[in-house]
């Protein structure tokens, strides 16, 4: 199994991607970021930790929380996604997810799943969920039943600790927990198509905090903007990536 927190094998067939910072925005340094999504000009964030978990609408330019709802203390919030007019949020070990009205944040529905909940995104047809393993689960967005599952690998070796997810231009981008890398994954085969190395992005002031890891990917489809942040990070970054074989 590939240790994704270490150097990727030089024999990997995946592209190697570097980054450039385009813009830097303020981010709530107390937000334990577990989910991030940008849709129709709105930035949404899901935060974790028992007693501190929330769903938020955030002003990109200032980092100000414009709207929020808190989870009950027994829930540890995880990944979020926007699907049509709904916001969907996972929890970590409770095996329950929540569906909210996108505008009002009014709770609409709860659903269950048999794994842990980590990251969440969608491809327009199915919800895509990670659970910290090398597996990605595709769920029916109406019934929340599993419709398929893929295993993620690079050069035949499983890639685990898949965390926060974003579906971008036909690929699944996945934070790999405890690493500075994002994996670009084929939703069909599970093969890692590229690695985005974000080493050096984290503010040195939080480098000693082992919890303050990279975790948060959002994509503005209208303006072709890619945003990343991390747990307890004081900044959110807009970046571009450059990939080579």
234 — pLDDT class (breaks 50, 70, 90): very high
What would the pLDDT profile of 58-111 be if each residue is shown by its tens digit? Answer: 999 999 999 999 999 999 999 999 999 999 999 999 999 999 999 999 999 999
pTM of the model: 0.93
CATH of range 15-244; options 3.30.70.1450, 3.40.50.10800, 2.102.10.10, 2.120.10.30: 2.120.10.30
Domain range summary for the chain, segments of one domain joined by +? 15-244
DSSP per-residue letters across the chain: -B-TTSPPPTT--SEEEEEEEEEEEE--TT--EEEEEEETTEEEEEE-STTT-EEEEE-TTT--EEEEEEPPTT--EEEEEEETTEEEEEESSS-EEEEEETTT--EEEEEE-SS----EEE-SSSEEEE-SSSEEEEE-TTT--EEEEEE-EETTEEB--EEEEEEETTEEEEEETTSSEEEEE-TTT-BEEEEEE-TT-S-GGGTT-TT--EEEEEEETTTTEEEEEETT-SEEEEEEEEEE-
What would the pLDDT profile of 148-157 be if each residue is shown by its tens digit? Answer: 999 999 999 9
């Amino acid at each position: 199994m590939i240790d994704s927190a270490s150097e990727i094998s030089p024999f990997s067939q995946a592209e190697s991607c570097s980054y450039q910072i385009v813009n830097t925005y303020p981010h709530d340094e107390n937000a334990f970021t577990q989910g991030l999504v940008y849709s129709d000009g709105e930035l949404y964030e899901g935060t974790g930790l028992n007693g501190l978990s929330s769903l938020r609408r955030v002003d990109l330019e200032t980092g100000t929380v414009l709207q929020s709802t808190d989870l009950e203390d027994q829930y540890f919030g995880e990944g979020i996604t926007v699907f049509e007019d709904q916001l969907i949020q996972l929890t970590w070990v409770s095996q329950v997810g929540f569906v909210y009205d996108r505008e009002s944040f009014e709770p609409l529905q709860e659903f269950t799943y048999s794994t842990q909940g980590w990251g969440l995104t969608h491809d327009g047809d199915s919800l895509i969920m990670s659970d910290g393993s090398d597996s990605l689960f595709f769920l029916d967005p109406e019934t929340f039943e599993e419709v398929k599952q893929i295993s993620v690998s690079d050069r035949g070796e499983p890639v685990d600790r898949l965390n926060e997810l974003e579906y971008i231009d036909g690929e699944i981008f996945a934070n790999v927990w405890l690493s500075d890398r994002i994996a670009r994954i084929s939703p069909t085969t599970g093969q890692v198509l590229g690695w985005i190395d974000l080493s050096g992005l984290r503010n040195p002031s939080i480098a000693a905090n082992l919890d303050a890891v990279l975790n948060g990917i959002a994509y503005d489809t209208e303006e072709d903007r890619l945003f990343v942040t991390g747990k307890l990070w004081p900044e959110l970054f807009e970046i571009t990536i450059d990939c080579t074989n």
